[in-house]
Amino acid sequence: MDEDKVMVIMTSGPDTPRRCATPFFMATLAAAMDYEVSMFFTIDGTLLLKKGLAETIYPKKGGKSVGEFLQEAMEAGVKMTACTASMELHDLTQEDLIDDVKMVGGASMWQMAEDCKTVLSF
C-alpha cells in the first residue's frame, strides 16, 4: 500500500447529474492535498468520459458543468481510468472517450485499490 495514493470509484452518470460533481471535487481536493489520485469509472460513470458529454450535464442549474469539474480534476493531476466492461455495456470504444483516459479491466481495479490508502466509492 502506498500512503500517498487514493482512488475514487465513479458509478453515477448522466441520468443523475446531482451525483456527478462531488466525486470530481473530492478527487481534485485530494490532489491539492498532494495525494496521487486516480478515478476509476464504471457502470454509468464511464459515459461521463465520452467526448463532449460531460459539458452538457449540470449538477446545479446555473452552476458549473460536469465537464468543468472533470477538467479541473485532470488539470490537478487526477488520472482517469475506464472499466473495459462498462465500455462494452455502453458500446463505447477508446476513440469515443476524451484523451488521456486509460482503459483497464476489472482486475486492474482491484490492484489499484490494493495500492491505495483510501478508496472512495460513489
**What minimum distance in Å lies between the beta carbon of 74 and another protein?**
13
Judged by CB under 8 A, the number of residues near another protein is: 10
Burial of 89 (0-12, 13-18, 19+ CB in 10 A): middle
**What minimum distance in Å lies between the beta carbon of 70 and another protein?**
13
Residue with cell 467526448: 51
Task: Name residues contacting another protein, limited to 90-119 (CB under 8 A).
Answer: none
29 binds another protein (CB under 8 A): yes
Q: How much of the chain is in helix, strand and coil states, percent to nearest 5?
A: 40, 20, 35
32 binds another protein (CB under 8 A): yes
- For the chain, the residue count is 122
33 binds another protein (CB under 8 A): yes
18 binds another protein (CB under 8 A): no
28 binds another protein (CB under 8 A): yes
Q: Report residue 87 as a C-alpha cell.
A: 465500455
Q: Which region, left, alpha or beta, applies to residue 77 given φ > 0 means left and ψ of -120 to 50 means alpha?
A: left
**What minimum distance in Å lies between the beta carbon of 69 and another protein?**
10
Near another protein by CB under 8 A: residue from 43, 72, 115, 122: 72
Identify which of 25, 32, 31 has the alpha carbon closest to the alpha carbon of residue 6: 31
Q: Which residues bind another protein (CB under 8 A)?
A: 25, 28-29, 32-34, 63-64, 72, 76
